[in-house]
Amino acid sequence: MLTNYAGLGIILIWGMVFPTLLLLLAKLFYPKNPTPVKLQTYECGLETQGETWVQFKISYFMYALIFVAFDVETIFLYPWAVKFQSLGLFGIVEMFIFIAILLIGFWYAWKEGALEWM
């Protein structure tokens, strides 16, 4: 088992090495003559105006908040799903209560308009 996880480390290292090798390979071929105009930020034929890193729309943040709640739920649901068949009726009822509580929260977010894209 531990060897399996050590294998993941090897794969991680490959994941870093392989793109680096590709970059080094390409470095042998591509021309290198950067000019100030070439390094400008891309815009459709104009010069870019103002700051890019500004405050962003709130609705992205609302979605992220609900996502966190649901994502944590999935972490609880997966072990339950694995053991589901041996837990019997107790497991079913227990998890349905858990899902019901979450659904109430989901319904509240829906009602308050957190799921609306404005």
Partner 1 sequence: MEKSFFNTIADALRNWLMNGLGFSDTAAQLTATAIWTLVVILFILMNLIVLVWLERKFSAFFQQRRGPNRLGPAGFLQFPVDIVKVLGKEDIIPANADKTVFKIASTCLFITTILAWAVIPLGDGVILADLNIGLFYFLAIGSTATVSLMMGGFSSNNKYSLIGGMRTVAQMISYEIPMIFSLLGVVMMVGSLRLSDVVAAQQNMWFIVPQAIAFLVYFVATVAETNRGPFDLAEGEQELVAGYFTEYSGIRYAIWMIAEYGNLVAVSTIASIMFLGGWNAPFGLTFIPGFVWLLLKIYFMIFLFMWVKWTYPRIRIDHLMHFGWKFLIPVSLANILVTGIGIYVYRLIIG
Contact positions vs partner 1 (CB under 8 A): 1, 3-8, 10-12, 14-16, 18-20, 22-23, 25-27, 29-34, 36, 38-44, 48, 52-53, 56-57, 60, 63-64, 66-67, 70-71, 74, 77-78, 81-86, 89, 92, 95-96, 99, 103, 106, 110, 115-117
Identity (one letter) of the amino acid at 13? I
Nearer of residues 92 and 108 to partner 1, judged by Cβ: 92
Shortest distance, position 37 Cβ to partner 1, whole Å: 10
Shortest distance, position 108 Cβ to partner 1, whole Å: 13
Can you read off the two tokens belonging to residue 22?
A: 């590709």
Answer yes or no: are the C-beta atoms of 47 and 40 closer than 8 Å: yes
Q: Indicate left, alpha or beta for 54 from its phi (over 0: left) and psi (-120 to 50: alpha).
A: beta
Shortest distance, position 96 Cβ to partner 1, whole Å: 7
Answer yes or no: are the C-beta atoms of 76 and 97 closer than 8 Å: no
Which residues, 6+ apart, have CB-to-CB distance to 59 below 8 Å?
A: 116, 117, 118
Shortest distance, position 23 Cβ to partner 1, whole Å: 6
Nearer of residues 110 and 112 to partner 1, judged by Cβ: 110
The candidate with the shortest Cα–Cα distance to 115, out of 71, 59, 76, is 59
